[in-house]
Amino acid sequence: MDQAKQRNYALIVKRDCPTCVLIEPVIRSLAEQFDAKLTVYVQDDPSFPASISTRIDDTSLEYSYRNAIEIVPTLMRLGNDLEEESRIVGWDKQQWREFTGIDDLGAELIDFKPGCGSKTQDPGMDERLALRFGKEQFSARKIQLAESEDTMEACFDRGWSDGLPVVPPTPLRVMRMLKGSDRSADEIIGKIPPDNVSCTIEKLAINAVMAGCKPEYFSVVIASIEAALQDRFCMHGLLCTTYFSSPVMVVNGPISKQIGMNSGVNALGQGNRANATIGRALQLVIRNVGGGVPGGIDRATMGNPGKYSFCFAEDESDSDWPSLAMDRGFQRDDSVISLFAGDGLQPIVDQQSRNPESLAKSMALSLRSVAHAKIFGLADAMLVISPEHRRVYRSGGWSKADVKQALYDELRTPGAELVRGANDIAEGMPEKFKEKLLNKFRDDGLHIVSTGGTAGLFSAIIGGWVASGERGSQIVSQKF
């Protein structure tokens, strides 16, 4: 007992806790025996417990937050420097006696009663407290709005929008977004084109908030930026082109289900928050951090609606059909995002083919039109196969590799049919290819994914940038 009296103790309680109320006689006893060695921090009612004077108002929750209090009551033993040495939580008579060295402590009380949740654990409180007392401080400048300013209109006026309303990035919303990742806010993820501005995780969080993302999407947003910054993707060139293309994002692995992405009905359309906002976040980062503003460095002749957002999850329900990520060397249980420099969506309607051979010829015929039916080896493509068309292949015993090989074989074409002027069409391949057999796509230029609803014998093509391949953009993937 003499040694225990030399210790300092901190007790964290709240009046709205039956266990804390129960142990009030114990608190009084400790205060009497430990003299000034006990300090009581109260989370809700500074007058509780009324029987002692050595209590401190912790309704701000600063002390509780800094000491990671999760349950009340929590009794902490402190060293001479007042740093914590050990703690106990709830009420366990024998444990408290051993901890304090008081053999008859709480003799009149029941032996055990669990504690209650600390107020620091209330919904949304962690982010609020982190904002007030956390070590991580924001570096982004704060914008003060005039009282008469409309918050939404202010975002438009300052050029932060892609043309649609954005969510105002308040400090609390940004803090909540940062909690969606274990990355430090001040970590520099890279330089964002076209202005090559250094970008922190905090800046990504700000734009993810504006895009409408939930915090659980944030790891995917980060991975999308890391993918876009890979040299092979050529994000700067993609921004500057007069062509239609922009990043197309395909998500594979467990994360797509965890955050509720759509890989089924209308997967390439509207209606799913994760699909829409993850793709939008990348575009806002390029705009707001990198300076990629339409009419400035962005000189697209027409653009395409995918420049708002083009992001979807792949349907991985067929365990015998490899996903895009698996084609890229990853495992089925890896969470991966792949970026492809693509343009709009071209439908493939084939409701008659009931065998793989017919369907492959049908799809190859449509693939010829990527960029131009007489231009070969210039633009890559992504073939999006619906579940019903995939079933035709699988029922016929074809693997995904069989489909790809059949498409390549079907698309080989004599150069004489493709050179400029052939068939009275000025556009086409240079004359030097006249005597050669040409492939529509380079060896790694055709990518197959599967998504969509289970009703409808429709598939689609996402044509690639005409600067695909070694001289321009290549598909990239990022595991996270």
Q: What is the pLDDT of residues 49-73, one digit of tens each?
A: 998 888 999 999 999 999 999 999 9
Banded model confidence at residue 35, pLDDT cuts 50, 70, 90: confident
Banded model confidence at residue 5, pLDDT cuts 50, 70, 90: low
Q: Mean per-residue pLDDT for 276-295?
A: 96
Phi, psi (degrees; rounded to nearest 5) at 237: -65, -40
Q: What is the pLDDT of residue 268?
A: 97
- Whether residues 170 and 51 share a domain: the answer is no
With 0-12 CB in 10 A as exposed, 13-18 as middle and 19+ as buried, what is 302? exposed
pTM score, two decimals?
A: 0.88
Q: Mean per-residue pLDDT for 246-253?
A: 98
- Whether residues 325 and 272 share a domain: the answer is yes
Q: Is the pLDDT of residue 1 over 50?
A: no
- Whether residues 32 and 181 share a domain: the answer is no
Per-residue pLDDT tens digits for 76-130: 999 988 899 999 999 999 999 999 999 999 999 999 999 999 999 999 999 999 9
Average model confidence (pLDDT) for the chain?
A: 95
- Whether residues 115 and 160 share a domain: the answer is no
Distance CA 201, CA 218 (A): 10
| Residue 88 placed within a domain | yes
Banded model confidence at residue 434, pLDDT cuts 50, 70, 90: very high
Q: Mean per-residue pLDDT for 265-282?
A: 97
- CATH code at position 8: 3.40.30.10
Query: DSSP string spanning 305-355?
Result: GGGT--EEE-----TTS--HHHHTT--TTS-EEEEEEEEEEEEEE-SS--S
- Whether residues 370 and 450 share a domain: the answer is yes
- Whether residues 256 and 363 share a domain: the answer is yes
Three-state secondary structure call for residue 255: helix
- Whether residues 363 and 467 share a domain: the answer is yes
* Total number of domains constituting the chain: 2
Q: Is the pLDDT of residue 304 over 70?
A: yes
| Residue 140 placed within a domain | no
Q: Mean per-residue pLDDT for 415-441?
A: 97
Q: What is the pLDDT of residue 2?
A: 55
Distance CA 394, CA 290 (A): 44
The structure tokens 């190859």 sit at 364
Q: Mean per-residue pLDDT for 34-42?
A: 88
Q: Mean per-residue pLDDT for 366-384?
A: 97
- Whether residues 176 and 243 share a domain: the answer is yes
Please say which residue of 73, 102, 123 terminates a domain.
123
Structural domain boundaries enclosing 112: 2-123
| Residue 142 placed within a domain | no
- Whether residues 109 and 164 share a domain: the answer is no
- Whether residues 278 and 334 share a domain: the answer is yes
Banded model confidence at residue 141, pLDDT cuts 50, 70, 90: confident
Q: Which residues of 376-396 are buried (b: 16+ CB within 10 A; e: fewer)?
A: bbbbbbbbbbbbbbbebbbeb
| Residue 8 placed within a domain | yes
Please say which residue of 123, 141, 176 terminates a domain.
123
- Whether residues 390 and 276 share a domain: the answer is yes
Identity of the amino acid at 236: H
| Residue 32 placed within a domain | yes
Of the given ranges (11-20, 137-146, 276-285, 290-299), which has the lowest mean pLDDT?
A: 137-146
| Residue 141 placed within a domain | no
For 141, residues 6+ apart whose C-beta sits below 8 A from its C-beta are none
- Whether residues 67 and 161 share a domain: the answer is no
